[in-house]
Chain A
Amino acid sequence: MSTTADAINAVKARFDVKVDEYRGEHRVVVPRDSLTAVMTLLRDVCAYDLLLDVTCVDYLNYRGATDRFGLVYLLANSTTAARLNIRVMLNEPELTVDSVVGLWEGANWMEREVWDMFGINFAGHPDLRRILMPDEFTAHPLRKDYPLQGRGERHNFPSITRDQA
């Protein structure tokens, strides 16, 4: 099995997925519960052995959108350079998906970043801590309902005067 079409057919045959195509790029929308199974199939059978990126899109107030978050996995086949875009749609309050760290070690920090920026919870992640923001930060700043200028966190420090130094 080598082509993207073959891989998509294999996934379609076993899972309830939605596939669309835009300018030769294929996007497969996978239900939340079958993510691990789909990823295992793609990695082990269809040779999509490289996880390029894990990221997320917040569709709040997006024209025509029905789901709040779109979790994005970019896969590549390292021999044929074929690419595949896997997406999992999430809605509050069920913002938990299974971690893929068991399949790709490299997903560790990418999932931490998605947790930090969007507050998506990855079940089974070995070390789900914030990666960019300080540990005591409470918000998830890339969500669209978080104000661009923050909620005053950037001013929340003591001011040092001359005689304190």
Chain B
Amino acid sequence: MALAIPENVVVSKLDELANWCRKNSLWPMPFATACCGIELMATGASRHDLARFGAEAFRFSPRQCDVMIVAGRVVMKMLPVLQRIWQQMHEPKWCISMGACASTGGVFDTYCVVQGIDRFIPVDMYVPGCPPRPEQLIQAIIDLQDKIAAEGTLTGREFKTAERQQPKRALMELPILGQTPVFPSRPIRGGMARPDTNSQGVG
């Protein structure tokens, strides 16, 4: 039975359409607290030109942003601010942890520096490096676009899966000294974009 489709009409799924729109107009929230922020600015500037990937509209209001880029070390006085800004962003939203400091604390293993923001907020992409080059950050954004295209849904069902609700590996593997673990130990399954599970490599 032939279906008459007029010219210039494409049939697709609504989810795919939403993903296509979302992934090509990511609006970053620059949470730049340290030296990595300079590379973040360079990424947005003309030489590296993040506009080629549709992510040039940096907004300093969390209400207008899709992807939070945490660039730099986060100290314990800043962490409540970071969490608040993350909660103020609207779904769908993603988080890129840029650089060694945001991902692990880096060389700053001191009393006031948070040892990896993924202990306290969800992270989708990790960018290794100190600081990562703009190309690496662009690669992370491209990988994030692939991730959105692959698993995104119109209603954001993918954020509600059990895997996404799983506590971060750092919290499970490194319980805080002198405290009973908040989360029982569970084996780690794939699905989250950790540097070692991301075969594309983020940089």
Enumerate chain A interface residues (CB-CB to B < 8 A). Answer: 132-134, 141, 146-165
Residues B160 and A163 in contact, CB atoms below 8 Å apart: yes
- In the assembled complex, the Cα of A149 lies from the Cα of B171 at a distance in Å of 17
Instruction: Say yes or no: is B58 at the interface (Cβ < 8 Å to chain A).
Output: no
Instruction: Say yes or no: is B169 at the interface (Cβ < 8 Å to chain A).
Output: no
Q: Which of A146, A150, A160 contacts B122 (CB 8 A)?
A: A160
Residues A149 and B89 in contact, CB atoms below 8 Å apart: no
Residues B83 and A160 in contact, CB atoms below 8 Å apart: yes
Residues A159 and B87 in contact, CB atoms below 8 Å apart: no
- In the assembled complex, the Cα of A55 lies from the Cα of B165 at a distance in Å of 47
* Nearest CB of chain B from residue A155's CB, rounded to whole Å: 5
- Listed A/B pairs (21) with beta-carbon separation below 8 Å: A133-B77, A134-B77, A147-B111, A149-B110, A150-B112, A153-B112, A154-B114, A157-B80, A157-B120, A158-B83, A159-B171, A159-B182, A160-B83, A160-B120, A161-B122, A161-B167, A162-B164, A164-B87, A165-B89, A165-B93, A165-B122
Residues B111 and A149 in contact, CB atoms below 8 Å apart: yes
Contacts of B89 in A (CB 8 A): 165
Residues B112 and A141 in contact, CB atoms below 8 Å apart: yes
Q: Known contacts A152-B178, A154-B76, A165-B93: does B111 contact A159 (CB below 8 Å)?
A: no
Q: Which of B110, B164, B167, B168 contacts A150 (CB 8 A)?
A: B110
Residues A165 and B111 in contact, CB atoms below 8 Å apart: no
Contacts of B115 in A (CB 8 A): 154-155
Contacts of B114 in A (CB 8 A): 154-155, 157
Contacts of A133 in B (CB 8 A): 77, 112
- In the assembled complex, the Cα of A147 lies from the Cα of B119 at a distance in Å of 22
What number of residue pairs across chains A and B have CB atoms under 8 A from each other? 78
Enumerate chain B interface residues (CB-CB to A < 8 A). Answer: 76-77, 79-80, 83, 86-87, 89, 91, 93, 109-115, 119-122, 159-160, 164-165, 167-168, 171, 176-179, 182
Sorted from nearest, which 8 A-B pairs have the closest CB atoms? A150-B111, A162-B164, A155-B176, A162-B159, A154-B76, A165-B87, A160-B121, A134-B77
Q: Which residue from chain A places its CB closest to the CB of B88 in the assembled complex?
A: A165
Contacts of B77 in A (CB 8 A): 132-134
* Residue among A151, A155, A164 facing the most chain B CB atoms (10 A cut-off): A155
* Nearest CB of chain B from residue A75's CB, rounded to whole Å: 31
Q: Known contacts A159-B167, A165-B89, A165-B93: does B177 contact A152 (CB below 8 Å)?
A: yes
Contacts of B182 in A (CB 8 A): 159
Contacts of A159 in B (CB 8 A): 119-121, 167-168, 171, 182
Contacts of A151 in B (CB 8 A): 111
Q: Which residue from chain A places its CB closest to the CB of B93 in the assembled complex?
A: A165
Q: Which of B79, B91, B109, B165 contacts A157 (CB 8 A)?
A: B79
Residues A157 and B83 in contact, CB atoms below 8 Å apart: yes
- In the assembled complex, the Cα of A81 lies from the Cα of B91 at a distance in Å of 60
Q: Which residue from chain B places its CB closest to the CB of A150 in the assembled complex?
A: B111
Residues B119 and A134 in contact, CB atoms below 8 Å apart: no
Q: Which residue from chain A places its CB closest to the CB of B168 in the assembled complex?
A: A159
Residues A154 and B120 in contact, CB atoms below 8 Å apart: no
Given contacts A146-B111, A157-B83, A157-B114, 10 further A-B contacts (CB under 8 A): A147-B111, A148-B109, A148-B111, A153-B111, A154-B112, A157-B76, A159-B121, A159-B171, A164-B87, A165-B86
